[in-house]
Structure 1
C-alpha cells in the first residue's frame, strides 16, 4: 500500500515538473508576437496537465497510513466548465483596446478565488487540528 502511494506521489511530482516547464516555455514565447499564440496554448496545456494531475493523482494524507482522494468531483468539473465558458466568451467579445482591463479583471478574480480558498482551507485546518471532541 505504501509503495503505491509513493509511486503516485512520484508520478504527480513528475506531472508538476512537466507542467512547470511547459508553463515557463509558454510564458517565454509570449515575448514575441509571432509565437505568442502558440506560447499561450503551450502554457494552457501545462496548466491543464497540472489541474488534471491534481484532480486524479493527488491524495490527501489523513495519517501515516491512510490517504483520501479529492471529494466533490462533479462540483470541481462543473466549476471548470462554467469558468471556461465565461472566460472564452469574455475573451472573444472584448476589443483589443479593452484588453488591459479584461486582464486585470481576470487577475482580480483569480486573487479573489485564492483568498476564498485560503479562508476555507484555514477553517478546515483549524477544525481538523485544534478542535478536540
Structure 2
C-alpha cells in the first residue's frame, strides 16, 4: 500500500487517517480504538472507536472486542474523535483480523506512555478472537 510505504519513509510503522475537518477515521487496514477514563470515574476505562456512520469500514475485530469488553464490565461506545482525544487517551490501538491489536507507541513523533490498560487490552483482544460470540 502506497500510504504505508510513505509512512515507512517517514519512520512510521502505520498510519491513522484523519478527515479534512479533523476527525479520526481509521488505519489503512485497521480500526482505531482508544481507552479513556470511564464516565463513572474510578471504574474501568471506556473503549471508544469512530462511529460506524463515518465513511469507514466496520471492523469485525473491533466488534468482537466490544462484545467481550462489555461482558467484562467495560463501557464501549462509538464517538467522534479528534487527534487531541488520541493524545488525551490512556492508550491507542489499531485492531484488525491480521495484526489483532497493535498499540500505538508514537503519534506524530511524540512518544506515548505505556499505561496499565495495555495488558488488559491485550487480554480482551485475545478473549475476543477465541469467543464463539
TM-score (structure 2 length as normaliser): 0.32
TM-score (structure 1 length as normaliser): 0.32
**Greater relative contact order: 1 or 2 (C-alpha under 8 angstroms, separation 6 or more)?**
2
Q: Give the helix-richer structure, 1 or 2.
A: 1
